[in-house]
Amino acid sequence: MTRAQVAIVGAAETTRLGKVPELSQTGLHADAALNALADCGLRPSDIDGIATAGHDVAEIAQYLGITPSWADGTSVGGCSFITHVRHAAAALQAGLCTTVLITHGESGRSNHRSHRPLFPSMQQQEFENTYGAAFPPMKFTLPVMRKMKDQGLTVEQIAMVAVVQREWAAHHPRAMARDPITVDDVLSSKMIAYPFRKLMCCLVSDGGGALVLTRADRARDMPSRPVYLRGMGGESLEGPMISQMESFTSSRAFRLSGRMAFENAEIDHADVDHLMVYDAFAHLPIYGLEDLGFVGPGEGGAFIAEGHTRPGGRLPMNTNGGGLSYMHSGMYGMYALQESVRQMRGISPAQVDGAKLSVVHGVGGMFSAASTVVLTTASKW
Amino acid sequence: MTDRPVPVISPETQFYWDGAAAGKLLLNECVGCDAAYFPPRPFCPTCGSRDVRVVEASGRGRLYSYVISHMAAPGYEPPYVIAVVELAEGPRMVSNLMGCPADPDALPLDMALEVTFEDRGDVTVPQFRPAGASA
């Protein structure tokens, strides 16, 4: 029998999502943080550990009135918040702090922020941006034609990712895009970077989210329903230059991060009731399903097209609609975590009946980083 | 053409851009591994050895993957091709495709490519075109 060591006790998104021109990026962090603290009955003075990405963690601490004994500014792209859960678990178990706040805020649409961009990296700037590869839609998609040729992935299968996720988004009142779409709609939407069309690309939104974590034995004293971390998750890096990926049909960082998370959680794929795979673009859930081992290499596109991840399917995936339909502020990983927590609390507007174990997998940069955590309703297993 | 982006060159990669200005595609190669790598750096990313040399690449490669950008970028009018070229020596690099329409029918994967060079004022940029093309 293994007892959970760490729990998520507070979880919330910003009061509003989508277009939030009345808040700065710092304000989005704070709004989400105050909502997450209220969720578990805590105040900023109760927090002694803090983590964020894409923003100076010290500014967030000062702005909220937090005096930390532990901080994590790991900023490897949109999966950073999933990585923070893993790092926070290690810090809590080592006794470096007792209560961790992880915040995300991003004024992706209204652009009320100071720019300290992570990308382009020095090598991207020198060897990729030089060729007009200036924006994510024309970089993140670069491996896909090779995957299509080598493994038979089709553009219709990529389109189905967007169609299925829109079905999930229809359940979520806060999703930005909720109207049903068809494969024809996707394939007739504006061409962005062949073979990718607009409906295969994520939304651009404002928003934020925050989590509060503490040791599992303390979670019992909280007013909220705890969600437990099973195992310690996984993380890896491959690097920002997409042209240098070891393989164009599979992400090394996805595979390593996923394998680590499954092994230390001591779970099999059949144990997974619910899955979140960060989808900045529609090919990512296909890579994710394959690289996490839910299907074999080259089988992800058909698996989604056959309906296995849609409402009523055997592997409900991206049940908030994902970055394609729910929201995408730029670093979406926090919203994948939030939906997973809602599912484990049994309160998602697209609730999967009886879901007890959820895997959250995220990408950072453009196949640059990956992290994976396993969340569960169970305090022991 | 000169409104296209120019790379910020680092001390470790100056030789590469100097080579391009002289009409050569230069690569680093590890002496111990006997293998070329990209982008340039003064040590081997496989074994960590500093015993590396500069070699002139054959200039031959194949079209490994690509997108056709329909978004404008500084100096680029859509549609334009962003390609990944696999060099005959093994490493992959990003390039545009010169002398070739931005049309999927003209872009079969594994098509043979050859290096060419694009003048951007103070900097010359390695580019690729279909092998035997005249552009």
Q: Is the Cβ pair A193, B7 closer than 8 Å? A: no
Q: Is residue B24 part of a domain?
A: yes
Distance from CA of A248 to the nearest CA of B (A): 9
Give tens-digit pLDDT for A253-296. Answer: 999 999 999 999 999 999 999 999 999 999 999 999 999 999 99
Which residues in chain A touch residue B84, judged by CB atoms under 8 angstroms apart?
142-143, 146, 243, 248
Q: Which of B38, B62, B84, B92 to mutate to test the interface with A (most CBs of A within 10 A)?
A: B84
Question: pLDDT exceeding 90 applies to what percent of chain B?
Answer: 95
- Indicate yes or no: CB of B7 within 8 angstroms of CB of A126: yes
Q: Across chain A, what does the average pLDDT equal? A: 96
CA distance B76 to chain A (A): 6
pLDDT in tens, A40-72: 999 999 999 999 999 999 999 999 999 999 999
- Report yes or no on B79 lying in a domain: yes
Encode pLDDT of A269-279 as tens digits. 999 999 999 99
Residues 36-55 of B with CB under 8 A from A: 38-39
The rounded percent of chain A whose pLDDT value lies above 70 is 99
Lowest mean pLDDT among A111-120, A134-143, A305-314, A345-354: A111-120
Please report the pLDDT score of residue A329 as a whole number. 92
Q: Which residue has the higher pLDDT, B105 or A112?
A: B105
The reply to whether B67 falls in a domain is yes
* pLDDT above 90: percentage of residues in chain A: 95
**Contacting A residues, span 166-195, partner chain B, CB-CB under 8 Å:** 190-195
Judged by CB atoms closer than 8 Å, whether chains meet at A133 and B65 is answered as no
User: Which residue is associated with the tokens 């001591």?
Assistant: A266
Note the pLDDT of residue A113. Answer: 82
Report the number of distinct structural domains present in chain B: 1
In a domain, B6, yes or no: no
Touching check for A264 and chain B: CB below 8 Å? Answer: no
Quick check: A112 pLDDT over 90? no
pLDDT at residue A116 greater than cutoff 70: no
CATH 3.40.50.740 fits A6-112+202-376, yes or no: no
Residue B111 falls inside a structural domain? yes
The mean pLDDT of A72-97, rounded to a whole number, is 98
Which pLDDT score, from 0 to 100, does residue A221 have? 87
* Average pLDDT score over residue span A233-250: 97
Q: Do A132 and B76 touch (CB under 8 A)?
A: yes
The yes-or-no verdict on residue A89 having pLDDT over 70 is yes
A-chain residues within 8 Å CB-CB of B64?
146, 248
Residue A114 has pLDDT above 80, yes or no: no
Asked whether residue B2 is domain-assigned, the answer is no
Query: B interface mutation test: which of A146, A189, A243 has the most B CBs within 10 A?
Result: A243
Res. A362 pLDDT band, cuts 50 70 90? very high
Inter-chain touch B10–A135, beta carbons under 8 Å: no
* A192 closest CB neighbour out of B38, B66, B71: B71
Residue B135 has pLDDT above 60, yes or no: no
**CB proximity B66 to A under 8 Å:** yes
Chain A hits for B73, CB-CB cut-off 8 Å, are 132-135, 138
Residues of B in contact with A155 (CB under 8 A): none
Inform me whether the C-beta atom of residue B15 falls under 8 Å from chain A C-beta atoms.
no
Closest Cα in chain B to A141: B67
Q: Quote the tokens at residue A51.
A: 């983590």
Query: Please, what is the average pLDDT of chain B?
Result: 95
Note whether B13 contacts A126, CB cutoff 8 Å.
yes
Is the per-residue pLDDT at A207 higher than 60? yes
CB-based contact, A125 to chain B, within 8 Å: yes
Reduced 3-state DSSP string for chain A: CCECCEEEEEEEECCCCECCCCCCHHHHHHHHHHHHHHHCCCCHHHCCEEEECCCCHHHHHHHHCCCCCEEECCCCCCCHHHHHHHHHHHHHHHCCCCEEEEEEEEECCCCCCCCCCCCCCHHHHHHCHHHCCCCHHHCCCCCHHHHHHHHCCCHHHHHHHHHHHHHHHCCCCCCCCCCCCCHHHHHHCCEEEECEEHHHECCCCEEEEEEEEEEHHHHCCCCCCCEEECCCCEEEECCCCHHHCCCCCCCHHHHHHHHHHHHHHCCCHHHCCEEEECCCECCHHHHHHHHCCCCCCCCHHHHHHCCCCCCCCCCCECCCCHHHHCCCCCCCHHHHHHHHHHHHHCCCCCCCCCCCEEEEEEEECCCCEEEEEEEECCCEC
Structural domain for B33, as ranges: 11-130
Contact across the interface for A191 and B96, Cβ inside 8 Å: no
For residue A117, pLDDT over 70 is answered with no
Q: Which of A127, A146, A192 sits opposite B94 (nearest CB)?
A: A127
